[in-house]
Amino acid sequence: MERQILHIDVNNAFLSWLAVYKLKNGEVIDIRNQVAVIGGDESKRSGIVLAKSNKAKQFGIITGETLYSARQKYRNLQVYQGNFKIYREYSDKLYKLLLEYTDKIERFSIDECFLDMTYHLMGDTLLNKAKEINRRVREELGFTVNIGVSNNKLLAKMASDFTKPDKVHTLFKQEIAKKMWVLPVSELFMLGKKTVPKLYKMKIKTIGELARTDENMLIKKFGKHGKIMWEYANGIDLSEVQYIKPKPKSIGNSITLPIDINKLEELEQVVFSLTEQVTYRLRKEELLANSVSVQLRTREFKDFSHQIKLENPTCSTRIILEKAKFLLKEMLKEKQYIRLVGVRVDNLTDKEEEQISLFSFSEKEEKQNRLDKVVDLLNDKYGNNSIVRARNLKM
């Protein structure tokens, strides 16, 4: 199966995160709307610009230049001190949100992540997931991201660097010639600054010209790096998303609905889909849940949730769905218009550590376990929820 990769890049991360923090703590002015930068000690001419607002960019201020130089370009420049604690806090919030989509996340830097979504699309498209993540980060976390969409890490990274901010871009193999080969060779990922002048001397000025250069000639001149340059210019990258896979303490998924819903039957269908995704991930992790919770957000942006403890640890779709639907009914005693629905399982335990129940599984439970395994195997093999259970799952 062709891989499904996203690259998430926070727009003006340090300045954006500080802006969100200040606004949440009573600040009236959004520093992103100022001619502002994040920098070090301005009294020292060695202090440099770490991040800049879009308005600062309009005055020619660039990341990496000295604060002294930046102020020559705009006298009333606002300079804010960096705060790594705040950066880490908002980086972790982003990571936590992304975990709702896949556990295969490579934190490439504090403000960049690669996501392997190959077995986590659950019947949706990669582009739709990217747009959903883009929207949720803006609405729920208060800052914006660029997202690159492709089938390998290199192309996803290149795509996320296209026009900014707050954009989703694709760069699939069939789009390389149109979208990537026209770019200056200096914009190729991982191409060192010292290499660019050497390529210019060889009359190689665009990524397309590098892609069409003889591979062996590049290897002869640049060694192993020449081969990598040629492969990257042609969109070739077999590297895997490098992720550390800690056992999760909870697994959940939520969705912002395209329209507000107040009918129980329609909301049950949403809960059904979310439960399918959550329990699939639960079984892939070989974990069992001890509690289930459902979260709702009204169109007035009021959040509320209910939780229920399970009689026995389980990863059964049928059992967890039964509890989730029960919670949904409890929460919807009064007619309310709902714009977001979430399902989460908590207090997870390792399947291997499960104590054998004094009572054997019923025949019905055994059949359900076999059904869960078959559905998971087919989805692993064919992807994208190739098989879907009956909408009205029998309880």
Instruction: Compute the distance between CA of residue 63 and CA of residue 353 in angstroms, rounded to an integer.
Output: 51
DSSP summary character for residue 352: G
Q: What Å distances lie between residue 76 and 34, 48, 71, 80, 161, CA to CA?
A: 10, 17, 7, 13, 30
Task: Break the chain down into helix, strand, coil percent, rounded to 5.
Answer: 40, 20, 35
Token pair in block for residue 96: 């936590």
112 belongs to the catalytic site: yes
Token pair in block for residue 344: 């989460």
Radius of gyration of the CA atoms of the chain, in A: 25
Instruction: Compute the distance between CA of residue 43 and CA of residue 221 in angstroms, rounded to an integer.
Output: 45
Instruction: Compute the distance between CA of residue 255 and CA of residue 153 in angstroms, rounded to an integer.
Output: 26
Whether the CB-CB separation of 6 and 98 falls below 8 Å is answered with no
Question: Helix/strand/coil (H, E, C) string of 161-219?
Answer: CCCCCCCEEECCHHHHHHHHCCCEHHHCCCCCCCHHHHHHHCCCCEHHHHHCCCHHHHH
379 Cβ contact partners less than 8 Å away, ≥ 6 residues apart? 119, 280, 385, 386, 387
Instruction: Compute the distance between CA of residue 12 and CA of residue 332 in angstroms, rounded to an integer.
Output: 41
Exposed/middle/buried for 55, CB within 10 Å: 0-12, 13-18, 19+?
middle
Exposed/middle/buried for 192, CB within 10 Å: 0-12, 13-18, 19+?
exposed
Instruction: Compute the distance between CA of residue 161 and CA of residue 312 in angstroms, rounded to an integer.
Output: 48
Whether the CB-CB separation of 328 and 294 falls below 8 Å is answered with yes
Q: Which is the catalytic residue, given 65, 89, 100, 112?
A: 112
246 Cβ contact partners less than 8 Å away, ≥ 6 residues apart? none
Q: DSSP alpha helices (H): ranges in the chain?
A: 13-24, 54-58, 67-73, 84-98, 126-136, 153-160, 195-201, 207-211, 215-222, 224-233, 264-284, 317-331, 363-382
Catalytically active residues are 112
